[in-house]
């Protein structure tokens, strides 16, 4: 399993649009991908779960990937987070 931690800098946090983009990005990979904060992890391929976390600017999130393409997935998600959030 691979993991990453990232602190959100987008002033609006993970609002609807980036949540959608994040879910789409996660869906590109076969691995089981999760996102969470404060220990609560949800499926990163499900938009309601991602939006339901209510992640705001300044909060630290954790993402994990488990599966054959886990290394690629984490690298791609890290690049995505840096560019969009």
Interface with other proteins (CB under 8 A)? 11-13, 15-17, 19-20, 23-24, 43, 45-49, 51-52, 54, 56
Shortest Cβ 43–other proteins spacing (Å): 7
Q: By the 8 A CB rule, do 5 and 62 touch?
A: yes
Shortest Cβ 3–other proteins spacing (Å): 23
Q: By the 8 A CB rule, do 82 and 11 touch?
A: no
Residue (1 or 16) nearer to other proteins, CB: 16
> Does residue 73 carry a catalytic annotation?
no
Q: Which of 10, 15, 59, 76 is catalytic?
A: 15
Query: What residues are annotated to the active site?
Result: 15
């Amino acid at each position: 399993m691979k993991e990453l931690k990232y602190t959100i800098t987008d002033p609006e946090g993970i609002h609807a649009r980036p949540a959608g983009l994040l879910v789409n990005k996660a869906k590109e990979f076969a691995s089981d991908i999760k996102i969470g904060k404060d220990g609560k992890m949800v499926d990163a391929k499900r938009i309601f779960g991602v939006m339901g976390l209510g992640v705001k600017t300044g909060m630290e999130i954790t993402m994990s990937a488990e599966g054959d393409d886990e290394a690629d997935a984490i690298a791609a998600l890290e690049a995505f987070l840096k560019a969009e959030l």
